[in-house]
A = this chain, B = another copy of it.
Amino acid sequence: MAPTLADLKHELAVANRMCAYEGVVDAFGHVSMRHPDNPKRYFLSRSRAPELVEPDDFYEFDLDSQPVVTPKHHLYSERVIHGEIYKARPEVMSVCHHHSPAILSYCITGEKPVPVYHLGSVIGHDVPFWDQRDEFGDTNLLVRLPEEGASLARALGSHNMVLMRRHGATVVGKSVRDLVFRTIYSCRNAEYQTQAKIVGKIHSLSPGEIDMAGKIHEQPNVVSRAWEYWEMRLAHRGATPPRAKTARAAAKKPRKTVKRGNKR
């Protein structure tokens, strides 16, 4: 049976919490998903630390990052990161913006992350940099204006992630689970690259290896095995999100299913 919209929102809450528990985000950072039935809309939590996000926290936004209902809560100021990328990349179904410790070493120095082990190939052949200062001069480094978001989306181009100088990173995926897998393993890859720098000279994967290893997570039971692992870790912490109130109320009614953006 295909997942309902309530299922997918619950999964998005889980995704936010996984990224927190696995050390990608702290009080800041956010994970969104495109509306599975309406490519001109996306879901993003109200302004809240990702480890606290629950299904009832999501608002629906248009691609100009305006909420479709009048919000009752504070919203993230950097929503345009999500909206402008959904505009520019029709196949992208989920976006994470973060300031992980692992990736910041590269944002601070401008050194390039490269895939240093097979799972690190989720970052792809090249990770572009974007420096807000180049186009917009001195700012507070937050990406708040549509033109800032559009500029970031141009820098991302067709890549899997973009590094933001003195700020963080933005990662894209073909589904929420694909996105979480890419986000966490791109951080692991960066950690290993940094530690290896202490030991000696870095040898990265060859272009051919990146191509082939970059498809590992499309094999059966790769993303799902990792997802089950991260779910278990959330559960051990007592941090599995609750079901949405509406979903709880509707639990006895027939389910309305939605099409999924990709197979798992």
- Which positions in A face B, CB cutoff 8 Å? 26-28, 47-49, 51-52, 74, 77, 99, 101, 104-111, 116-119, 133, 137-142, 165-168, 188, 191-206, 208-209, 211-213, 215-216, 219-221, 225-226, 228-230, 232, 236-239
CA distance A188 to B168 in the complex (A): 13
CA distance A17 to B148 in the complex (A): 38
Is the Cβ of A74 less than 8 Å from the Cβ of B221?
Answer: yes
This protein's copies in its complex: 4
Is the Cβ of B105 less than 8 Å from the Cβ of A139?
Answer: no
Q: A117-B167, A205-B166 are in contact. Are A27 and B226 (CB under 8 A)?
A: yes
Is the Cβ of B119 less than 8 Å from the Cβ of A202?
Answer: no
Is the Cβ of A108 less than 8 Å from the Cβ of B192?
Answer: yes
CA distance A207 to B51 in the complex (A): 33
Contact partners of A52 in chain B: CB under 8 A: 228-229, 232
Q: Can you name 23 A-B pairs with beta carbons within 8 Å?
A: A26-B229, A27-B228, A28-B119, A28-B226, A49-B225, A74-B221, A99-B117, A101-B188, A104-B116, A105-B200, A106-B199, A107-B117, A108-B202, A109-B196, A109-B199, A111-B200, A138-B206, A138-B208, A139-B209, A140-B216, A165-B203, A166-B205, A194-B195
Is the Cβ of A192 less than 8 Å from the Cβ of B138?
Answer: no
Is the Cβ of A199 less than 8 Å from the Cβ of B194?
Answer: yes
**Residue among B105, B117, B142, B215 making CB contact with A196, cutoff 8 Å:** B105
Contact partners of A77 in chain B: CB under 8 A: 219
Most chain B CB inside 10 Å of its own CB: which residue of A28, A166, A208, A213: A166
Known: A108-B116, A117-B167. 18 other contacts (CB 8 A): A28-B225, A47-B225, A48-B225, A51-B229, A52-B228, A99-B117, A104-B116, A105-B192, A108-B202, A109-B203, A111-B200, A117-B166, A118-B167, A141-B212, A141-B213, A166-B204, A194-B199, A197-B198
Closest to A213 in B: B140
Is the Cβ of A166 less than 8 Å from the Cβ of B116?
Answer: yes
**Residue among B101, B195, B205, B225 making CB contact with A105, cutoff 8 Å:** B195
Closest to A113 in B: B199
The smallest beta-carbon distance between A76 and chain B, in angstroms, is: 9
Is the Cβ of A206 less than 8 Å from the Cβ of B133?
Answer: yes
**Residue among B168, B195, B197, B201 making CB contact with A104, cutoff 8 Å:** B195
Q: A194-B195, A229-B51 are in contact. Are A203 and B138 (CB under 8 A)?
A: no
